[in-house]
Amino acid sequence: MYDRILIPTDGSEGVDRAVDHAIDAADRYDATLHVLYVVDSAIVNAYSGDEYVHEAEGAEATLEEIGRESVEAVAEQAEAAAVETETAIVHGEPHEEILRYIDDEGIDLTVMGSKNRPGDYRRMLGSVTERVSRLSAAPVSIVKTTVGKR
């Protein structure tokens, strides 16, 4: 039913349940698990003024390192479960890059975590998971994470 399953990760706490769900689905369907981290261009661009060029380079390098550690941790967990993995780190707007990856790689299912955020946060900034689930042509499975309280 699924040949390519995507788990985007941001390296945050609480994504473990979504990772477990994605690995289980990949194992069940003998699918390749794609692990994606997006270096958020908005964070890097926040340091893009002339006086902040050094800080922007430092922020980008830091985010890339977080990304490497995040995708490697998920890949190791998947490989321990005998699930084939592919990893990628891309730069850009997170929901846009996730959607692009889904289309470019022919992803059959995307598994994403969703944190319980206060209503004002959600109204002001939206949610990467919500945007992907609304705009993706492929199915998106949303797994509630355990971070935060309602």
- C-alpha span between 115 and 78 (Å, rounded): 22
pLDDT of residue 11: 81
Q: Which residues of the chain have pLDDT under 70?
A: 47-57, 116-126, 146-150
What pLDDT score does 46 carry?
A: 72
What is residue 53's predicted lDDT score, i.e. its pLDDT? 55
Nearest to 7 by CA among 113, 97, 81: 113
Which pLDDT tens digit goes with each residue over 58-96? 778 888 999 999 999 999 999 999 999 999 999 999 999
Residue with tokens 């004002």: 120
| pLDDT for 147 | 53
The pLDDT value given to residue 123: 45
Q: What's the pLDDT at 114?
A: 83
CA–CA gap between residue 67 and residue 73 (Å, rounded): 10
* 110 to 9, 11, 25, 116: CA distances (angstroms): 11, 17, 10, 19
d(CA 17, CA 90): 23
Dist. CA 9–CA 18, nearest whole Å: 9
| CATH, domain range 4-144 | 3.40.50.12370
Mention every residue, 6+ apart, whose C-beta is less than 8 A from residue 14.
113, 115, 145, 146, 147, 148
Q: What is the C-alpha to C-alpha distance for residues 14 and 74, in angstroms, rounded to an integer?
A: 13
pLDDT on residue 104: 98
Q: Is the pTM of this model over 0.75?
A: yes
pLDDT of residue 55: 62
User: Where do the domains of the chain lie?
Assistant: 4-144
Q: What's the pLDDT at 125?
A: 45
